[in-house]
Structure 1
Amino acid sequence: MSATVRPPYGSTASEGGDTPPGGSRAGRVLARLAALAPSRARGSVPLRAALGAGLLSCAVFCLGTLLAGSHPLGPHSRNIVDMGTQYVPFHAYWRKELLGGADGDLFLNWNSGYGSNFLGDLGTYLSSPFDLLVVLFPADRVELALFVVSTAKITAAGAAMAVLLLRLRRGPWPVAAVLGSAYALCGWTLDNGAYVPMWLDGLLAFPLLCLVGEWALSGRRPVLGPLVVALAWTSNFYTAYMATLGAGIVLLVRLLTGESGETAERGRRWPAGVLRAARSVLIGVGLAAPLVLVIYAATKVAHPTPPVAFAPAAWPDVFARLLPATSGTESPALYIGTPALALALAMPFHRRLPARTRYGWPAAVCLVALSLHWRPTHLLWHAGAEPNGVTDRQAFVLCGLLLIAAWRSTADGLPRPRALAAGLAVLAALALAARGTYAVDRWSYPVFAVALLLGLSAAAAVFLAARSGSRARVARVLSVLAVALLVTAQAGETAVAGMRVARLERQHRSWSPPLGREERETAAVVAAKDDWPRVRTDPGAEPGRNDPMLVGGQSGNYYSSLTAQTTYTTLTALGYGYFAKGRRLMSLDHPVTDAIFSVGTRVRLVQDPAGGPGRVPRAATGPVPPLVTVRPDVRLPDPAARFGASVFANQELLLGARVYDPPARTTEVRHGKERVTLATTCTPGSRVYLSALTFIGSATMDGSRPVDFNGKLPATRPALQSLGVTPASGKVRVELRHTGWLGLPKQPIGCLVENRLERAVRQLSAGGATEVRVGGHSVTARIPAGSTGTALLAVPRIKGWSCAAGAGPARPAQSYLGLIAVPLDGTATSVSCRFRPPGLLRGAAVGAGALVCLVATALWCRRGRRRAARAAAEPV
């Protein structure tokens, strides 16, 4: 019975039939680096590497944040793009959900989108164990909590990569620590992951899943492996999917290069190792299925973003992203640090390495880089969907492969000067090819040059230490100097790169201001006026970044990748505006939609009446129907009930009453390229509204202040807005000054007669529910006896709702113009509805099956170990 005897950490035993590289002087110097801190236990070496990589990653990330002056180490906001509009609000809501105070529960979020699938959002944005740290911070320090969460993920990723490197090949732990930190702070992290915290779970998942592959090859940890896979897929299934593909590539390269640690006899049984790896992945993904399938189901019914044409980045742009201080969304962020990149590029010329290793890893790197430029493989990396925004989200896998190549290039001994020179020549060629590209910053080449000089000095110190002969003290001092120079080069360059990337992000991308006085005061006003579920309290249309999650209340405002198509269709048909190509719905300040959705209190930000420089929240209340109304005139199903092109007619259809003036002829007169005059007639005293779907500019009605519109389909659409009150003459004249013009809808102006709306509200209130009770994901309403027609809930009918009338059976909820509808036959005195996230039951069944498989695997492996122990104990 053969066994593989592994050399101790820090040794330089050969893997193949080539000359043992450990016999070189440079190899012996690197071995000294691993012995800088004496260890009694071999297991403490990866622990030291993990601690070193984690602490270095944390320190450098914080230093870059400090140099950039970003929150919380500076005055500038870190709320770049979705950080402020999604992740900060979601974490604020998650804190309330965990500590109590949220209107919904794990299934449903009553605050946003008039009722949205929270379990899907939880699995997308908040399911990482690190996100639980938000409960340790006060409610007004959510941004600080999110910075700590991001830093913790980066720290853990660096530590995990350092452990993986030492598992792939034993070598000097200080170098493994530096390269682990280089992975954690690669360009993808600085430019993408730092502002999309959920993606950082994929950064951590990649080295962990590679370790699962190593355990599978060696037949170790059959239970822990699937649990690690389950944790990765639960934390963020999107990037975990990419990390799983990357780990599969690493496993394949390990097998093809003969690095798997198998003897010749066991090498013939490598399919068993691959099957064990597949078993770990399948069981792990199965364990994560209760959340993954919910997300998948929510994705299927989410509002799709417009198609994106595949456009691979030009190769000079790709080469530029290997340099420090580069930023952009159109090309992959591949920076790993100049010293690490030089080591990776020297690998093909490192003749002390076995040939398969020397060429296998560079080939894998090149093939993955090419996969970014071919549409089928590009779609494979992104699970078949062309991404919006950041195009190459899988770049962290390529960064990881480059770091592994750098480690394999130096773990057994620093490449000889000739090999280093060849690698540096390739590096210089890539840097020259990147000149003049859009991503290169004025800091890129100076920082690159300084880091390269320090890296060469570290290499020179290693070679001098190798030539010091028997002078052990000199060799030790030079070894320490080499490590210091390497850390300075790698960490210093990365800190400066992080600083520049943060500043470039603030200059060239949209950002939100830090949370402050406005949010605190609005939250206080909302809490004082909140009367849910009798009526809704809308925190307002500004600043429009998932405000209900931040300050409370119940609104149509909602920004998520899982915004339901039903919610989008219903709200936009009524005149709601949006950003982010329809997935960021904005609140609409309008009395008709307030009546439809039972918004009894609305908070508006107004100029401080005391003369202060800022704005203060003020609450306005008014009568609205209850959350559940009865429409005797509606019979389900009604094929004729559908929205038209006019938002004013759509509002009347859903309200069930005529409240606008009949559409009058609107004349349109153009004055040059930038002015248009609209004229029509309305009832004197009526309120004039303008619907401008693709208008960029301002609209002014005679005697009123200008109102701004910003419409640029498909990215943004302005909401319906009030321009003023119709004068006694009944003549309405609106002047448009525009900077971008794509046309107006057929009925751009609507005149609301308020006494008609008041009458409609009284009628709906008189026949509506007399009592409404709302649970975490349920609604129960008592309705007048003998009610016929349809009970209409002011909640979008997203998939997952089931309803019952009276004591009748619960059935999938019906829809009337996008809202939940329950048919009534005159016998029911109550209606009840309950929400269950689609995919939950199927996911629970798959998860239960995976759990059975995991237990069976544990029992089988335990039985196998006992048989092996008995066989070993039997006398020969």
Structure 2
Amino acid sequence: DLLHGRGTGGLFLNWQSGYGASFLPDLGTYLGSPFALLVALFPRDRIDLAVYVITLLKTAAAGAVMAQWLLTLRPGRWWAAGALGASYALCGWSLAEASYNPMWLDGLIALPLLCLVGHRALAGRWFALGALPVALVWVANFYTAYMATLGAVLILLTGLLVDHAPGGGPPLRRLAPLGRPVARLAGVLALGVGLAAPLVSVVFLGTRHAYPGRVVEFTPKPWTDVLARLLPGTYNFSSPAVYVDTVALLLALTLPFNPAVPRRLRGGWTLLVAAVTLSLQWGPTQLAWHAFSVPNGSQYRETFVLGGLLVTAAWLSFAHGMPGRRPLLAAGALLAAIAAAASRATELIRPWTYPLLLAGVAAVAAALLLARLARRHRHPLPAALAVVLLIGAQVGQSAATTAVADRLRLGHLDDYAPWGQRQRTQSELIAEADGWPRYRTDPGREQTVGNDPLLVGGQGAQYYSSLTSDVLSRTMTALGGGWTSRGRSVQSLDNPVTDAIFSVGARVHSPPDPHQDWQAPTGAEPYVTRQVVPPLVTLRPDPKRPPAFGPSPFRNQELLLGARVYTLPRDVAVRGADGRPAARTPDGGYRLPPGPTKRSRPKALLTATCPRDSQVFLWAPHYWGVAAMRGAGRPPVGFRGDHPVTKIAPMQPLGAAPASGRVEVVLTVQKGGTVPAGSIGCLDPARLRAAVDRLRAQGATEVHVSDTGIRAKLPPGSRGIAVVAAPRIAGWRCAAGDGRHRPADGYLGLLAVELDTSATSVDCAFRP
């Protein structure tokens, strides 16, 4: 949309996501790659095809650049370099980790590209020109470029030490001749990173204001798990994806035993591979690989560097001459030892792991026999068959490993539907209801992807990014919002009070996405609801003391709205199916344990008393199950909250309270959790309408938004604080009337401007 001029916002501001988010850090994190520009060539409704094509092109580019690096490192047969380049492009990290994070594939390209640049820099060539590829890979994805730079430096320094054997004398004198080429290498890398600094610095500063998520101390996986991931057909989210196909792995294992390779080269590269492997399992070096920031998710994101080292080791052994019988037997014995040790990792080994491994070994053995036959009879056909056999084994093992990873990944990650009728319908409904910037149109609570506003249009709370702001996540959590990805994927909140606060005048309601199988589909058709809401800029009285959120999201909503609209019942109680009170938590809530089996669905009954015809809302952020209010005539609503906290469930509407006022909510427990003592809120629609009318009467008369800020005209005599319905993220500067711009104020997490007696307008400008 941005490339075609259809986006709501621009390079600086994204008005569609998170009620107003900084876009430039996201651009540098996810869309800095030159390959990303190719999406402009595809129709909007074929975005899935665009991502698929770009993923293939990046993978192919990584293989091609690696093949070129191998031939530069040591001349040899082009087809072997190409095959090993493909081994690198199809390594376990690429198949299991980067395939669903396409921006990481730029790091896969960066490693061999930086090796090529550094190789020429060490030789005294490409100093100024070499800085351009360095800058390009750092702009494309600085996170994996950092890891690739570390890996390339280790590779190049190892090669320098191996190729330039220092003479006798003191250590400093022996190493002195290496100072000049090392300085050239450092210079070209520093110049390239400096060229990328304007964008990289914005991304870095964005990480300082991002929600921290849940910091997990690094715990190394058992070595049996690490060894198991070297084999085909294994997968586990939390272990290092170090797989390379058996052909490349077997060749790499021959390097220490291949007498055709010079001893210094064998020793240096064997030590390098061993050192990098060990660094994956030690906390301090793990932290160094990840730029001294604990990753929020997979903790082995640097394993593509080890994949590159294994492939390079395989090439060095092969390019110095086909390994003989003894190196092959030694490598085979080492591979057998790895396979035997890996057998203890029972959670990783699949029924097809060892058959795939044996098939790869058999392919290597058959290829060796064919190669010997070709040499004996001087005929190219057996040699060609050997190459086809090896490449076939490589492709087959990698395809099987991909299939295993794709299937098992869905057990712990969300499944997202490709573009189809659901997205087309949502997009059409949003386009019809759109009234931006008079009001927002939210794509709805039942999300399809993590960034529905960007996919189907509209302007909502939903926002996923590694740079999701701390203020947005904490503000929405305080208001009863939900999130996944440890707080970095904020979800839409279906609530009329927060809709009034954030000027959401239209909201799409869709049935659950059938790809999200945790909740049964309802078969309902998507529809739009509308409500009268205040403008984007409203007034609040100047408080004597800065307000602060408390533990109740219902009271927090009222605090931000400026009116009391909820009744909070004091008689909330939860009983099990046997009628006994549920166990209490230390903070007074109720504990709902799961059933004895995965298919068990124990029931519980939550009761409370609400005023007649009030709208009942349930807040249970750490409950995983379903809730339905008796007599409401509405389908059950799902909650997904876990512990330790990777996701919390948002507040959900249950329906109107009956005439008797007795609210009975049936809880169908799936994975269990807790329900707070203050879990029920009873909303008075009349009070909410009165509060909205007051905010509208005092709100802005005109609002203008752009990709760099927001301007609003206020009624004459406006006093107090002008509150903009957007999170107070870093980068905002505001002015009241004709005053000077200064860093913006905050009001309970929202953007605010203090007014003087003469101000009839506010102007806020944004710079990341």
**Alignment check: 8 A CA contact 2:417 2:448 kept:** no
SS at match of 2:525: strand
Matched, 1:641 2:571: no
1:568 Cα deviation from its structure 2 partner: 0.8
Q: Does 1:616 align with 2:525?
A: yes
Q: Distance in 2 between matches of 1:535 and 1:291?
A: 32
Deviation at 1:728, TM superposition (A): 2.3
1:607-627 CA-partner distances (Å, limit 9, x unpaired) = 99xxx9954321121110000
Residue 556 (structure 2) aligns with = 650
Change (3 A) 1:477 1:742: closer
The answer to whether residue 756 in structure 2 is matched with residue 825 in structure 1 is yes
CA distance in 2, matches of 1:500, 1:694: 31
Q: Say yes or no: does 1:570 pair with 2:498.
A: no
State the AA in 2 paired with 1:153. K
Task: Indicate conservation of the 8 Å contact 2:158/2:269, yes or no.
Answer: yes
Distance 1:431 1:662 in 2: 61
The 8 Å contact of residues 230 and 285 in structure 1, kept in 2 or not, is answered as yes
CA distance in 1, matches of 2:349, 2:401: 11
Equivalent residue, structure 1, for 2:329: 421
Supply the distance in 2 between the matched residues of 1:735 and 1:482 (Cα, whole angstroms).
Answer: 66
Distance 1:709 1:237 in 2: 36
Partner Cα distance (2:253, 2:315) in 1: 11
Distance 1:736 1:528 in 2: 37
Is 1:515–2:435 an aligned residue pair?
A: no
Structure-2 residue corresponding to 1:364: 272
| Amino acid in structure 2 at the alignment position of 1:685 | D
Aligned to 2:587: none
Q: Following the alignment from structure 1 to structure 2, what is the Cα–Cα distance between the partners of residues 485 and 695?
A: 53
Deviation sequence 1:826-876 (CA, Å, 0-9, x none): 211110111111xxxxxxxxxxxxxxxxxxxxxxxxxxxxxxxxxxxxxxx
| 1:702 alignment partner, one of 630, 633, 646 | 630
Give the residue type in structure 2 aligned to 1:648: F
| 1:524 maps to 2:428 | yes
Contact 1:521-1:616 within 8 A present in 2 as well = no
Partner SS, residue 62 of structure 2: helix
Q: State the distance in 2 between where 1:352 and 1:737 align.
A: 68
Residues 808-834 of structure 1: CA deviation (Å, up to 9, x unaligned): 100011000001110111211110111
Cα 1:662/1:694, change in 2 over 3 Å = closer
Query: 2:611 maps to what in 1?
Result: 683
Equivalence for 1:402: 310
Which residue of structure 2 lines up, in the alignment, with residue 446 of structure 1? 355
Give the C-alpha shift of residue 420 in structure 1.
Answer: 1.3
**Which residues of 2 match residues 100-179 of structure 1 at below 5 A?**
100-179=5-84
Task: Identify, as 1 or 2, the structure richer in helix.
Answer: 1
In structure 2, give the amino acid aligned to 1:458: A
Secondary structure at 2:566 match in 1: coil
Which segment is superposed worse, 641-650 or 724-733? Answer: 724-733
Q: CA deviation at 1:461?
A: 3.2
- Does the residue aligned with 1:98 lie in a helix, a strand or coil? coil
Listed one character per residue, the Cα deviations across residues 198-226 of structure 1 (whole Å, up to 9, x for unaligned) are: 11000000000111210111011112211
What TM-score do you get using the length of structure 1 for normalisation?
Answer: 0.80
Q: What is the deviation of 1:112?
A: 0.5
> Which residue of 2 is the match for residue 289 of structure 1?
197
Aligned partners of 1:452 and 1:489 also within 8 Å: no
* Mapped contact 1:217–1:270 kept (Cα < 8 A): no
Distance in structure 2 (CA, Å) of the matches to 1:540 and 1:163: 49
Describe how 1:360-509 pairs up with structure 2 within 5 A: 360-437=268-345, 438-466=347-375, 468=376, 474-506=378-410, 509=413
Per-residue deviation, residues 58-100 of structure 1 (Å, max 9, x unmatched): xxxxxxxxxxxxxxxxxxxxxxxxxxxxxxxxxxxxxx01111
Find 1:182's aligned residue among 63, 87, 94.
87
Shift of 1:355: 0.7
Find the counterpart in structure 1 of residue 261 from structure 2. Answer: 353
Question: Match of 1:823, as an amino acid?
Answer: E
2:137 pairs with 1:232: yes
Superposition pairs for residues 599-614 of structure 1, below 5 Å?
Answer: 599-605=504-510, 614=523
Indicate the RMSD between aligned Cα atoms, in angstroms. 2.3
CA contact (8 A) 1:108 1:115 kept: yes
What is residue 800 of structure 1 aligned with on the other side? Answer: 731
Q: Is the 8 A contact 2:626 2:669 kept in 1?
A: yes
Q: Which amino acid aligns with 1:174?
A: W
Give CA-to-partner distance per residue, 1:149-185, whole Å, 9 cap, x none.
1000000000000010011111111111111111111
Which residue, out of 108, 119, 122, partners 1:217?
Answer: 122
Counterpart Cα distance in 1 of 2:511 and 2:109: 45
Contact 1:518–1:615 at 8 Å: present in 2 too? no
CA distance in 1, matches of 2:669, 2:389: 58
Q: What residue identity is the alignment partner of 1:626?
A: P
The residue that corresponds to 1:659 in the other structure is: 565
Say which SS state the counterpart of residue 150 (structure 1) adopts: helix
Structure 1 pair 607–675 and aligned structure 2 pair: CA distance change class (3 A): closer
Partners of 2:387 and 2:604 lie apart in 1 by: 69
Aligned-pair CA distance for 1:259: 6.6
The aligned residue for residue 589 of structure 2 is: none
Out of 457-466 and 319-328, give the one that drifted further. 457-466
Aligned residue type for 1:450: A
Write the deviation string for residues 612-648 of structure 1: whole angstroms up to 9, x where unpaired: 99543211211100000122x224xx54400001111
Equivalences for 1:716-795 in 2 at 5 Å? 716-795=647-726
Deviation at 1:307, TM superposition (A): 1.8
The CA deviation string for residues 307-361 of structure 1, in whole angstroms up to 9 with x for no partner, is 2122212111111111111111222112211111111111111112211111111
1:515-534 deviation per Cα after TM superposition (whole angstroms, max 9, x unaligned): 21011011011111111001
**Aligned AA for 2:642?**
K
Letter in 2 for 1:641: P
C-alpha distance after superposition, 1:782-801 (max 9, x if no partner): 00111110111001000111
- Cα 1:348–1:748 change in 2 (3 A) is same
- State the distance in 2 between where 1:744 and 1:507 align: 26
Rounded Cα–Cα distance in structure 2 between residues aligned with 1:97 and 1:219:
42
More RCO (CA 8 Å, sep 6+)? 1
Larger deviation: 570-579 or 497-506? 497-506
Kindly indicate whether the alpha-carbon contact (under 8 Å) linking 1:646 and 1:746 is maintained by their aligned counterparts in 2. Answer: no
Identify the residue that residue 588 of structure 2 maps to in structure 1.
none
Q: What's the CA shift for 1:233?
A: 0.6
Deviations 1:734-790 (A, max 9, x none): 343434454333421111111111111111101110000111121000001111101
> For the Cα contact (< 8 Å) 1:538–1:553, is it kept in 2?
yes
- Aligned pair count reads 730
Alpha-carbon distance change, 384 to 613 in structure 1, aligned in 2, over 3 angstroms: closer
Distance, in Å, in 1 between the alignment partners of 2:545 and 2:403 is 58
Tell me how far 1:260 sits from its aligned partner. Answer: 9.8
Structure 1 residue aligned with 2:459: 554
Give the 3-state SS of the residue equivalent to 1:428 in structure 2. Answer: helix
Decide whether the 8 Å contact of 1:518 with 1:616 is kept in 2: no
Identity of aligned residues (%): 49
Q: How far 1:194 moved relative to its partner?
A: 1.0
Pair 1:541-2:427 in alignment: no
Q: Where does residue 518 of structure 2 map in the other structure?
A: none
Structure 2 residue runs of 5 or longer lacking an equivalent are 168-172, 514-520, 583-601
Distance 1:259 1:342, change over 3 A: farther
Return the letter of the residue paired with 1:460.
Answer: L
Contact 1:217-1:260 at 8 Å conserved across structures = no
- Please state whether the residue corresponding to 1:761 is helix, strand or coil: helix
Q: Which residue of 2 aligns with 1:874?
A: none
Letter in 2 for 1:820: L
Question: Is 1:198 paired with 2:103?
Answer: yes
Structure 1 unpaired stretches of 5+: 1-95, 838-876
CA pair 618-270 structure 1, distance change in 2 beyond 3 A:
same
